């Protein structure tokens, strides 16, 4: 097993999904806000934030480990915490909004877990 056999593909998938979700949130802010009752400014700004984050994740994938990947994992965990806080807030939106935020939080949780596991394997194969 090479150092990046799992880590790099997971990071690349994370970057690709960030770009896709960012584009969706920026291009379709109005319709998504109307369907979910989530605040349109929040959706648009979240979409914009995902673009530089995706670039950072791509850079971390190129580096293959260390603090950049730890920072990606920490940012993903922070995103999940913010998503859960949104669900618990008065701005959580409709049931569809809660499902939308909950589904993306679940996906990000899975990515963070895979990244953590892969980072541990990368460290153990180099030790």
d(CA 17, CA 100): 15
Listing DSSP states for 13-37 in one string gives HHHHHHHHHHHHHHHTHHHHHHHH-
User: What pLDDT is stored for residue 1 in this prediction?
Assistant: 37
* 3-class secondary structure, 112: helix
8 Å CB contact between 53 and 61: no
Q: What is the pLDDT of residues 86-118, one digit of tens each?
A: 999 999 999 999 999 999 999 999 999 999 999
Q: CA dihedral in degrees (44, 113, 52, 83; nearest 10)?
A: 20
Q: What is the pLDDT of residues 3-56, one digit of tens each?
A: 458 999 999 999 999 999 999 999 999 999 999 999 999 999 999 999 999 999
Is 0.85 topped by the overall pTM? yes
């Amino acid at each position: 097993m090479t150092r990046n056999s799992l880590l790099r593909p997971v990071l690349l998938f994370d970057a690709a999904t960030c770009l896709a979700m960012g584009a969706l949130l920026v291009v379709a802010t109005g319709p998504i806000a109307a369907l979910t009752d989530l605040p349109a400014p929040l959706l648009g700004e979240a979409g914009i934030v995902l673009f530089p984050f995706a670039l950072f994740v791509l850079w971390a994938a190129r580096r293959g480990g260390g603090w950049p990947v730890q920072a990606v994992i920490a940012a993903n965990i922070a995103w999940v915490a913010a998503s859960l806080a949104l669900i618990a807030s008065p701005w959580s939106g409709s049931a569809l909004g809660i499902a939308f935020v909950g589904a993306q939080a679940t996906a990000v949780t899975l990515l963070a877990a895979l990244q953590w596991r892969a980072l541990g394997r990368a460290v153990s194969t180099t030790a």
